[in-house]
A = this chain, B = another copy of it.
Amino acid sequence: MINGEKTTGQALRWGMVGGGRTGQVGYKHRTGAQRDGTYQLLAGAFDLDAEQGRDFGRNLGVAEERCYATYQELIASESQRADGVEVVSVATPNFSHYEITRALLQAGIHVVCEKPLFFTVAECVEIKKLAEEKGLIVGVTYGFTGHPLVHQMAAMVAKGMLGDIRLIDLQYTHGFNAGDDSDASEAVKWRTNPKTSGPTFVLGDIGTHLYYLSEVVLPELKIEKLLCDRKSFIASREPLEDHATVLMHYHNGARGRLWVTSVNAGNMGSQRYRFVGSKASVEWSDAHPDQLSYEIQGEPIRILHHGMPYLEAESLALDRMGALHTEGLGDSWANIYLWIAQAIRAQQRADQVFLAGHHCPGIDAGTEGVRWLENCVRSADADASWVEYT
């Protein structure tokens, strides 16, 4: 149970690039990082519109002179300060993740970056090398994997409670782009343009969450081949997709199905994860993150509830509200930011033993997401045919 005691000591001096007043994801970063006083927000280049960014920063309690017009200014100035930020979160559109992350690392600043991490695996490999040279952490905000019951599923799989894994069914299908984009917000505009979004729309935007969570639950499973069928129902989004289905063959013989779309009219974004083994299945949705269905063939379905003593220790350790009360996405983000803080503190004290055993979505998690996207695109571009996973 997490109660706000700072296992990381002194709050990390923290800054943000992006995530400004109108940004969609910025508040999730702030609420996650500041939840337990683990991070203290001291600097930011919050917005493309420098004036708005400055005004916003002020309202967040950031000192006037540390509200910067650009990330370059932020880096230049903060690197000079004795009390400069130790870590910066990047919550900008996809295309700038790579350049901003690189610049931060070069300046010796730890990074928390949004997903999809970069456009190519090659970029990921390069940044991983840079981070290693500099001795810095790159955390990636796969925001749903901080939910305690995700780790309950992982622990159950690890203990063999599901038997051999056979079927994996993944779904993140909302309807917020069911209409055309004539009145699209900035957030939709950049997502539907390959220059700013990268080689995918919904696959990268929401599919990477599904894929990463499945990796957390099933770390041993490797994809052998994959087929991706994608399509845009709104012409202006082409060549990017607003719907995709991915079929996966894993090397233990398991089969996977994944569905992402943003034209699922009327749906507010339900994710669904079902993992079927030879003995039992588990099913979980972020829409009701406090419950997990555990189904042994021939026995009554069991509904596991967060925070209850019968859960695995790995899950209970992540609980914040206790069984009587409801957790939300903010609680999950708080866990992710806590893990990243722990990784940074360990890195700072060169504690490789801690880091080796520490769960935290980092550069490798980011890289695997980009690799999966590359494979999906390769299949989709080959008329939705099967491709070997590389």
Contact = CB atoms under 8 A, between A and B. Distances in A.
Interface of A: 2-6, 10-11, 21, 24, 26-28, 30-31, 34-37, 41, 56, 59-61, 162-163, 166-167, 169, 174-176, 178-179, 227, 229, 231, 233, 243, 245, 247, 253, 255, 257, 259, 261, 263-269, 276-281, 286-290, 293-305, 308-310, 320-331, 383-386
Given A303-B303, A324-B176, A4 B60 contact: yes
Contacts of A298: 308-310
B178 A320 contact: no
B383 A384 contact: no
B278 A178 contact: yes
A167 B243 contact: yes
A305 to B, nearest CB: 5
A162 B175 CA distance: 13
17 contacts: A2-B27, A4-B31, A28-B325, A30-B36, A34-B37, A35-B35, A163-B265, A178-B279, A231-B253, A233-B253, A265-B280, A265-B295, A266-B297, A300-B302, A300-B304, A301-B302, A301-B303
Contacts of A305: 268, 300-301
Given A21-B5, A61-B6, A175-B295, A167 B261 contact: yes
A350 B22 CA distance: 32
Given A166-B243, A328-B330, 19 more contacts: A3-B27, A4-B27, A4-B31, A34-B34, A37-B61, A166-B263, A179-B297, A265-B277, A265-B280, A265-B295, A266-B293, A269-B324, A288-B326, A298-B310, A299-B310, A300-B304, A320-B330, A325-B328, A385-B385
A233 B11 CA distance: 48
Contacts of A327: 328-330
Contacts of A60: 4-6, 37
Contacts of A10: 61
Given A6-B61, A34-B35, A166 B233 contact: yes
A257 B60 CA distance: 44
Contacts of A385: 385-386
Contacts of A304: 300
A34 B31 contact: no
Nearest to A257: B245
B36 A6 contact: no
Please list the 8 inter-chain residue pairs (A to B) with the smallest Cβ-Cβ separation, ordered nearest first: A266-B295, A328-B328, A300-B302, A5-B59, A269-B324, A301-B303, A178-B297, A265-B297
Residue in A163, A259, A264 with the greatest tally of chain B CB atoms within 10 Å: A264
A265 B279 contact: yes
Residue in A163, A261, A267 with the greatest tally of chain B CB atoms within 10 Å: A267
A59 B245 contact: no
Residue in A4, A266, A386 with the greatest tally of chain B CB atoms within 10 Å: A266
A157 to B, nearest CB: 13
A174 B324 contact: yes
A178 B297 CA distance: 7
A327 to B, nearest CB: 4
Contacts of A35: 31, 34-35
Contacts of A4: 27, 30-31, 60
A322 B187 CA distance: 14
Contacts of A41: 37
Contacts of A287: 290, 326
Residue in A26, A261, A295, A308 with the greatest tally of chain B CB atoms within 10 Å: A295
B266 A326 contact: no
